[in-house]
Amino acid sequence: MIRVLLVDDQHLIRAGLRMLCDAQPDIEVVGEADNGREAITLAARLLPDVVVMDLRMPGVDGITATSRILAERPTTRILVLTTFGDDDHLYPALTAGACGFLLKDAPPTELLDGIRRAAAGDSPFSAEVLRRLVQRAVHARPETPRPVQGLTAREQDVLNLVAEGLSNTEIGDRLHIGVTTVKTHITSLMTKTDSPNRVRLALFARGV
């Protein structure tokens, strides 16, 4: 069971997230907070596996709360869920230690998948956010994706598309394969390239 703490200053948002999570057999909402200060207190007391964290809140904001929570319990996984996907919010959140960054207009299935991936040690990002991370990282070095020894032809195809910032669904559509097959290839690629998450895999493909 994945223990989740929901942090958002809007009651309706929290209620919707709780209903979504409560309908899942493997996710348990152990608490809710409407500001960063309360989130820090509840995280220390409830010991959640994943904190779904908003960024803009009154008083202590989500970035400060993320840093404080991880300073006390580094194994906590903090997944940002916000309306704001701009660099002014993205990079400070990642610097504070957030493991992933999703936008509030993401489909419910993407959020649930993000919670599960965060709990499993992965780094879930909305496709739009992932593209920006990759583009910014390779801006000064715009090499084409490099071939990697030991990969199958299909794995190399998937790696090239990950380097472009495509989501699993987009990769599947481009290569005419299922999303589950895409996920299997990406797991294999991360193992073969010693990449801990999708962002590092994309940067590896670009030679960064």
Domains contained in the chain, CATH given: 2-136 (3.40.50.2300), 144-206 (1.10.10.10)
Rounded distance, CA 118 to CA 138, Å? 25
Q: Quick one: how far is CA 141 from the chain centroid?
A: 25
pLDDT, position 147 = 60
DSSP state string for 26-79: TEEEEEEESSHHHHHHHHHHH--SEEEE-S--SSS-HHHHHHHHHHH-TT-EEE
Per-residue pLDDT in tens (0 to 9) along the chain, 208 residues: 999 999 999 999 999 999 999 999 999 999 999 999 999 999 999 999 999 999 989 889 999 999 999 999 999 999 999 886 555 677 788 888 898 889 888 889 999 999 998 998 888 888 777 776 666 655 545 455 556 678 898 999 999 888 777 778 888 999 999 988 998 998 899 888 888 777 778 777 766 5
Eight-state DSSP code of residue 6 = E
pLDDT, position 142 = 46
Task: Provide the 3-class DSSP secondary structure of residue 101.
Answer: strand
Which tokens sit at 172? 């599947």
pLDDT, position 65 = 95
pLDDT, position 124 = 85
| Residue 121 Ramachandran class (φ > 0 left, ψ -120 to 50 alpha, else beta) | left
pLDDT, position 136 = 62
Whose tokens are 């299909």? That residue is 154
> Dihedral through CA 106, CA 111, CA 117, CA 120, nearest 10?
160
Eight-state DSSP code of residue 177 = -
Rounded distance, CA 134 to CA 204, Å? 10
What is the per-residue pLDDT across 72-87, written as a single tens digit (0 to 9) for each? 999 999 999 988 655 5
pLDDT, position 140 = 46
